[in-house]
C-alpha cells in the first residue's frame, strides 16, 4: 500500500513539473519530432574568438621614366645653388611633384645618366655624366629604387659605371641594373615592404642592337651589363622565384625612340616575361609615352605592362619628349594570399624649360598653364618632329598625345573630359 501511495505521489509531482514547465515557456520536445543532428557539428574552439579577421593590406607603388640630365639642366642647378642647398640645386625642378613621390610607399625611377664623379667632368649629350648632387636630391624627394640599366650606363666607360655604382651603394636606395661581377649579377634584388617581398630584374636592350650605344666593357672587366637575352632572362627569373618573393617586377629599357607605339620586339619580350611569371613590367627609353595594358598568363594570373613612361626630365629637342608621367598602382594582399596589382593609374607631367634653357621644372599636367606653352624651349628646335610629324609643343597637343596613347581608364577624369 505504501508503495502505491509513493507511486501516485511521484506521478502527481511529475505532472506538476510538466505543467509548470509549459507555463514558464520552456519547450518540451515532442517525442514524435526529429531533433537536430548535432553529431557532425564541430565543437567550438574558444581560442578562435581571439583570432583577428583577415585584413586588406595596400602598398602604393609609383614609377617614373627617364631622368635625362642635359647640360642645360645641371648648369641651371648650379645657378640656383644657395647657402642652404647642395652645390648643384636640383630641388626646384622637382618641387611640384616631390610630395607625390614621397607619399608613395615605394617609388622607382630610371636614372638615365651616369654619376661618375666630378673628376670625369660633367657633361650632357651624347656622353652624359651628372653631378652626384642630383642623386642626393632624388633620395631627398623620396625615390627608393634607382635603375641604371640603360643605353647611357657606359657613357664614361668602366670607371664611370664603377663610380656610379659606388655612389648609389652609399645611398639608402635599392640599385637595379649595375653589377660589380657575375655573382652580384645573380644576386637578385629583393625589396620587402610591410611583409610583401618583390624581386626585381633589370635589362637594357640587346648588345647586338647597341644597348649601350656601342660602348663596351674591357674584355677582362668583372662588371656585368644586363643586355636583354631570352635565355638569360628565363634563367634569372628562375633565380628570382628561388628568393621566395611574392611578386616579380622587370625594368626594361627597350623600344624605338620617339615612337608612341610598342615595337614588335617590345611585345615579344613582354610576352616572354609574362609567360615566365613577371607580375609588372616597367618600360622606358622611347622618350615618349606608350600604352599600358594587361597580358594574360598561362598560370591564370595577369601581367601589367607599362611599355614606356616617357621622360620625367630632359631638355630634348622635340615637343613630344616633354610629356611624361608617373604610373601608380596598389599592391594588395588579403591575409596570407598572394598579393595582386590593383588601382592602376597614370599621372601625366610636363617638363618645362624656357627659351634661354633655364628655369627647368616638372609640372603636373593639370597645373600647367596654356600661357606657358609658347614660351617652351623646344621652340628653339626646328626638327622634323616639331615641324611636320607632331608639331611644336602646346598644352592641347600634349593632352591629345596623352589620350591617344594611354587608355582613358588609367587617366584623370579632368584630362579625359577636356578632350571630348
What are the average pLDDT values for consecutive 10-residue runs of the chain, which has 420 residues? 47 48 43 45 56 84 98 98 98 98 98 98 98 98 98 98 98 98 98 98 96 97 98 98 98 98 98 98 98 98 98 98 98 96 98 97 97 96 97 97 98 85
**Which residues on neighbouring strands pair with residue 199, listed in sequence order?**
190, 248
What is the Cα–Cα distance from 302 to 247, expressed in whole angstroms? Answer: 12
- Cα atoms found within 13 Å of the Cα of residue 120, Cβ hemisphere only: 23
* Pick from 61, 92, 65: nearest CA to 78: 92
Grid coordinates given for 5: 501511495
Phi/psi class of residue 177: alpha, beta or left (left: φ > 0; alpha: ψ in -120 to 50)?
left
The Cα-based distances of 287 to 16, 208, 245 in angstroms read: 95, 21, 31
What is the Cα–Cα distance from 104 to 143, expressed in whole angstroms? Answer: 9
* Pick from 243, 301, 236, 295: nearest CA to 271: 295
Q: Record the pTM.
A: 0.88
What is the Cα–Cα distance from 158 to 164, expressed in whole angstroms? Answer: 10
Helices (H), 87-206: 91-94, 98-103, 132-140, 157-169, 182-185
Which run of H or E residues covers position 7?
Answer: helix 2-23
Domain that holds residue 333: 56-418
Q: Is residue 104 part of a domain?
A: yes
Q: Is residue 28 part of a domain?
A: no
Q: Is residue 32 part of a domain?
A: no
* Pick from 109, 112, 111: nearest CA to 63: 109
What is the Cα–Cα distance from 273 to 88, expressed in whole angstroms? Answer: 39
Measured between its terminal Cα atoms, the distance across the chain in Å is 106
CA–centroid distance for 61 within its chain: 5
Residues 6+ apart with CB under 8 A from 197: 190, 191, 243, 244, 245, 246, 247
3-state per-residue secondary structure call for 159-178:
HHHHHHHHHHHCCCCEEECC
Cis, bond preceding 126 (omega within 30 deg of 0):
yes
Grid coordinates given for 186: 645573380
CA–centroid distance for 116 within its chain: 26
CA–centroid distance for 170 within its chain: 23
**Which residues on neighbouring strands pair with residue 376, listed in sequence order?**
354
- So what's the pLDDT on residue 31? 41
Q: Which CATH number goes with the domain that contains 251?
A: 3.60.21.10
What is the Cα–Cα distance from 149 to 175, expressed in whole angstroms? Answer: 10
The structural domain count of the chain equals: 1
Let me know if 259 is exposed, middle or buried by CB neighbors in 10 A (0-12, 13-18, 19+). Answer: middle
Q: Is residue 51 part of a domain?
A: no
CB 185 within 8 A of CB 226: yes
CB 401 within 8 A of CB 391: no
- So what's the pLDDT on residue 52? 65
CB 156 within 8 A of CB 129: yes
Q: How many helices (H) and strands (E) does the chain have?
A: 12, 14
Q: Is residue 189 part of a domain?
A: yes
Question: Which residue is it, cell 531533433?
Answer: 35
Question: Which residue is it, cell 588609367?
Answer: 410
What is the Cα–Cα distance from 208 to 113, expressed in whole angstroms? Answer: 21
- So what's the pLDDT on residue 420? 76
Q: Is residue 74 part of a domain?
A: yes
Grid coordinates given for 381: 628646335
Q: Is residue 42 part of a domain?
A: no
Q: Is residue 263 part of a domain?
A: yes
Amino acid at each position: 500500500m505504501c508503495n502505491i501511495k509513493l507511486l501516485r505521489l511521484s506521478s502527481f509531482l511529475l505532472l506538476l513539473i510538466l505543467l509548470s514547465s509549459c507555463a514558464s515557456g520552456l519547450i518540451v520536445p515532442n517525442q514524435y519530432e526529429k531533433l537536430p543532428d548535432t553529431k557532425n557539428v564541430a565543437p567550438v574552439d574558444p581560442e578562435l574568438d581571439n583570432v583577428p579577421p583577415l585584413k586588406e593590406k595596400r602598398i602604393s607603388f609609383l614609377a617614373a621614366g627617364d631622368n635625362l640630365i642635359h647640360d642645360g639642366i645641371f648648369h641651371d642647378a648650379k645657378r640656383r645653388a644657395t647657402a642652404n642647398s647642395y652645390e648643384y640645386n636640383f630641388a626646384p625642378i622637382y618641387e611640384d611633384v616631390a610630395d607625390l613621390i614621397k607619399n608613395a610607399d615605394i617609388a622607382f625611377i630610371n636614372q638615365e645618366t651616369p654619376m661618375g664623379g666630378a673628376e670625369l667632368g660633367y657633361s650632357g649629350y651624347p656622353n652624359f655624366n651628372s653631378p652626384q648632387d642630383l642623386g642626393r636630391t632624388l633620395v631627398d624627394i623620396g625615390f627608393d629604387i634607382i635603375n641604371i640599366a640603360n643605353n647611357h650606363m657606359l657613357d664614361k666607360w668602366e670607371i664611370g659605371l664603377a663610380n656610379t655604382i659606388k655612389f648609389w651603394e652609399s645611398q639608402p636606395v635599392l640599385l637595379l641594373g649595375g653589377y660589380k661581377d657575375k655573382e652580384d649579377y645573380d644576386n637578385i634584388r629583393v625589396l620587402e615592404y610591410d611583409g610583401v617581398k618583390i624581386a626585381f630584374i633589370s635589362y637594357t636592350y640587346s648588345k647586338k642592337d647597341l644597348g649601350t650605344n656601342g660602348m663596351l666593357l674591357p674584355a677582362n672587366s668583372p662588371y656585368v651589363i644586363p643586355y636583354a637575352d631570352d635565355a638569360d632572362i628565363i634563367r634569372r627569373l628562375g633565380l628570382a622565384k628561388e628568393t621566395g618573393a611574392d611578386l616579380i617586377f622587370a625594368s626594361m629599357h627597350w623600344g624605338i625612340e620617339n615612337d608612341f607605339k610598342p615595337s614588335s620586339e617590345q611585345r615579344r619580350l613582354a610576352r616572354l616575361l609574362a609567360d615566365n611569371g613577371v607580375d609588372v613590367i616597367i618600360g622606358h627609353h622611347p622618350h615618349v609615352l606608350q600604352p599600358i595594358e594587361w597580358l594574360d598568363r598561362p598560370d591564370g594570373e595577369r601581367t601589367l605592362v607599362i611599355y614606356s613612361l616617357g621622360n620625367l626630365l630632359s631638355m630634348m629637342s622635340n615637343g613630344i619628349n616633354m610629356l611624361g608621367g608617373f604610373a601608380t598602382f596598389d599592391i594588395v594582399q588579403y591575409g596570407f594570399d598572394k598579393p595582386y596589382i590593383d588601382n592602376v593609374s597614370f599621372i601625366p607631367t610636363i617638363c618645362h624649360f624656357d627659351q634661354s634653357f633655364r628655369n627647368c621644372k616638372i609640372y603636373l599636367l593639370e597645373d600647367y598653364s596654356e600661357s606657358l606653352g609658347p614660351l617652351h624651349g623646344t621652340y628653339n628646335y626646328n626638327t622634323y618632329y616639331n615641324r611636320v610629324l607632331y608639331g611644336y609643343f602646346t598644352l592641347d597637343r600634349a593632352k591629345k598625345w596623352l589620350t591617344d596613347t594611354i587608355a582613358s581608364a588609367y587617366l584623370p577624369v579632368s584630362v579625359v573630359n577636356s578632350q571630348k
